[in-house]
Structures are given as structure tokens and as C-alpha cells.
Amino acid sequence: MSPRITRINPDRLHPTPGYHHITVVEAGRTAHLAGQCPLDRDGVLVGPGSLDAQIDQVAANALAALAAVGAEPDDVVRSVIYVCTDVTEVLGAAWRRLTASAIGPAFTTASTLLGVNRLGFTGQLVEVDLTAALP
């Protein structure tokens, strides 16, 4: 973890499954990544109907986007995860796969996981928005 990023879980708040309630960033530049969708380099949806395949593609896309600005998953200070479901178990499975992926450290920060009714592409099941403090 960078000395310019502090993650906090106050004793008076509930325990979390890996994220922190508060992320503090010392002055510096930030990068706001657009929602990372499960599209391949040609703009084709990967794994229609497969949450695991789509999460893997979103993770790869997020790594590429972070690398483009010289950042890594540890530099992420805010994340929002959208999953096209209202089933708690599916949301939990998405969280576990993302946190176990190569971008897993991005989700130790202030994070929100949302079940939504629809995403932008037909067959799309997941999307991730990230904000990173640049090195």
C-alpha cells in the first residue's frame, strides 16, 4: 500500500468482507476509469450469460486501463461493481471472484457492490468503475 493512501475501518462500524469503510488520499492526481465492460479488444461481448467469463474480461480490461495511466490495483481508492442480478448469492459469487482476481487489491478500498436490472450491452452481467490515485 502506498504511503499516500490510508484505508480505515473504524471500530464503531461493522466488519467488512475485505473492503474498507474509508479511504483517505493525500493530495495528488486521480484517474477516473470509465465502467470497464466485458468486451474484448474488438468490442465484442465476452461470455454472454457467463458471469465468470465476464468478470475475467472485466479484470483484464481494468488492469489494462490502470496500466495506461501508470497505476496498479493497489492504487485504486474507490470502486463500484454492478452485477445484473437481484440474487444475493450471485452478488457474493461476483465479489469473491473479483477479489480473488488480478485486480483483487482494488477492492480492499472503499467499494460498493450493486445488483442492477440491466447494463449497457445485451447479455452483459457485470461492469466495474474504478478511481485510482496516480503514483
Listing DSSP states for 9-36 in one string gives --TTS---SS--SEEEE-SS-EEEEEEE
pLDDT of residue 126: 97
What does pTM read for this prediction?
0.87
Residues of the chain where predicted confidence (pLDDT) is lower than 70: 1-2
Cell 457467463, residue? 50
Domain definitions of the chain by residue range: 5-133
82 contacts 119 by C-beta, under 8 angstroms = yes
Contacts with 55 (C-beta within 8 Å, 6 or more apart), sequence order: 38, 94, 97, 98, 101, 126
Question: Which architecture does CATH list for 5-133?
Answer: 2-Layer Sandwich (3.30)
- pLDDT value at position 2? 65
